[in-house]
Amino acid sequence: NELAASYFINVMLYMPFFVCTAPVLCSSRYGLAILSCYGFFVAYALRVNLSVAMVDMLNSSSSSSGANDSVCPRHSSPARPKHNHTASVYDWDSETQGWILGSFFYGYIITQIPGGYLARKYGAKWLLGFGILGTVIFTLLTPVAADLGAGYLIAVRVLEGIGEGVTFPAMHAMWASWAPPLERSRLLTISYAGAQLGTVVALPLSGQICFYLDWTYVFYIFGAVGLLWFILWVFLVSNSPSSHRRISETERTYITASLQNELSPTSDYIPWTSILTSVPLWAIVVAHFSYNWTFYTLLTLLPTYMNDILGFSIKQNGMLSALPYLGCWLLSMGGGQLADYLRETCLFRTVIVRKAFTIIGMMGPAVFLVAAGYTNCNYIMAIIFLTVSSSLGGFSASGFNINHLDIAPSYAGILLGITNSFATIPGMVGPVIARSLTKSNTILEWRTVFFISAGINLFGALFYTLFGKGTVQPWAVHRVHIQ
């Protein structure tokens, strides 16, 4: 009886989905997913390339980075081309490195909530487009800023963060108008998988660029890739199906009909009190903060760990640092397909799917991250555990990460702005704390960093499991009452 009732509720709630379906091939909604995937590829490539370039930007003779020495025996590496060390190098200590790597997030946190609000009120297309364009421009200016001094580089990274801070809230706001409920996991994981894909490509490619050219070209090449994306975004994307010039009438009807019972009829009313006192929202906040603590710590410092502890060269470093994010990308894509299959075909309740994927995507990484701290100089096991840890995190993309659209699709951009504001704090303080705890670059110090990250991850998974929800909240659909 319970299964039959669940089936009836799903059919009634998503009746438009069954009545009117639209093909996937050459559809505008999947075209948006692919182009937004490219956009997040650019955003994360510009975010992480400094992590690899930093290893090559330091003066090996006077910095404390351990460029020549490492805890474990260094691996052999082919001789560099003689022309590749034409760029400047700098004498930055470990604390300065931490501030430079974390400075991006000081700008990133500023535009989270405003980004969600502006995207809802005025549309997400131009907000997201100019946000990433700003990041591209300041990326191209990075070599000049580094030559002027660490303070200028920190300022440029803050400005990059301000531009990129609108991306996730704006994209969530756009998907609120574009993603049919039973396709959300698929569409959003395709879209946001660009983040992992950008990391997968940027880390090894940055290492190769540093090896064969010099670190300045890391910023010039990825900046050019970003400019190409902006041109495509301007000409091919629209804010909603109703304003899209090339969408088929069948697809337009399918999308709008599937969302008619979920979206608020007005963009002016925002129930701030209900939003800020929503327990399901705070469950997402805690989970998002906890997951990002581990994610950002590894994102910014894994190349340093590979160099200082495991002794890999700049050419090997980027490729090995990318492996965890390749696994994360693959599992996030597969997880999105599986999550929608469980909801649509197996009729699992949304909240069950979201919590199950969150538990796997947060507790799994915690276990393997701690295990990586005990591998010492066993290079193979260290890389395997770090890869498995980050790979399992890909399941969270279909867990708490898109739960905003389940509980309040009309305000998804604003909700993501709120959760991502808190989730940006780990990016601001995580690298600084980690570098302050690893001044001597010992395995024991790094083990402490891994334990802290794992503990925070476990707490976030438990909190979300207890308080997360999977249905549209009453305050999320504003009704106009006639007196």
Dump pLDDT digits (tens) for 370-396. Answer: 998 898 888 889 889 988 998 999 899
Mean pLDDT of 102-126: 88
Share of the chain above pLDDT 90, in %: 36
pTM, full prediction = 0.75
Give the pLDDT score at 351: 93
pLDDT confidence band for 226 (50 / 70 / 90) = very high
Chain segment 236-271, per-residue pLDDT in tens = 999 888 888 888 898 888 888 888 766 655 556 788
- Return mean pLDDT, the chain: 84
What residue ranges define each of the domains in the chain, with the CATH number in brackets? 28-245+267-476 (1.20.1250.20)
The pLDDT, as a whole number, for residue 480 is 40
What is the predicted pLDDT for the residue at 20?
47
Quick one: three-class SS letters along the chain?
CHHHHHHHHHHHHCHHHHHCCCCCCCCHHHHHHHHHHHHHHHHHHHHHHHHHHHHHHECCCCCCCCCCCCCCCCCCCCCCCHHHCCCCCECCCHHHHHHHHHHHHHHHCCCHHHHHHHHHHHCCHHHHHHHHHHHHHHHHCHHHHHHHCHHHHHHHHHHHHHHHCCHHHHHHHHHHHHCCHHHHHHHHHHHHHHHHHHHHHHHHHHHHHHHHCCCHHHHHHHHHHHHHHHHHHHHHCCCCHHHCCCCCHHHHHHHHHHHCCCCCCCCCCCCHHHHHCCHHHHHHHHHHHHHHHHHHHHHHHHHHHHHHCCCCCHHHHHHHHHHHHHHHHHHHHHHHHHHHHHHHCCCCCHHHHHHHHHHHHHHHHHHHHHHHCCCCCCHHHHHHHHHHHHHHHHHHHHCHHHHHHHHCHHHHHHHHHHHHHHHHHHHHHHHHHHHHHCCCCCHHHHHHHHHHHHHHHHHHHHHHHHHCCCCCCHHHCCCCCCC
The band of 17, judged by pLDDT with boundaries at 50, 70 and 90, is very low
* Residue 257: Cβ within 10 Å count: 15
Find the length of the chain: 483
**Given this model, what pLDDT does residue 477 score?**
75
Per-residue pLDDT at 14 exceeds 50: no
Q: Which residue has the tokens 């983040």?
A: 195
Express each pLDDT in 316-369 by its tens digit: 766 777 788 888 888 988 988 899 889 888 889 999 999 999 999 999 999 999
Say which range, 82-91, 196-205, 263-272, 292-301, has the weakest mean pLDDT: 263-272
Q: Is the pLDDT of residue 15 over 50?
A: no
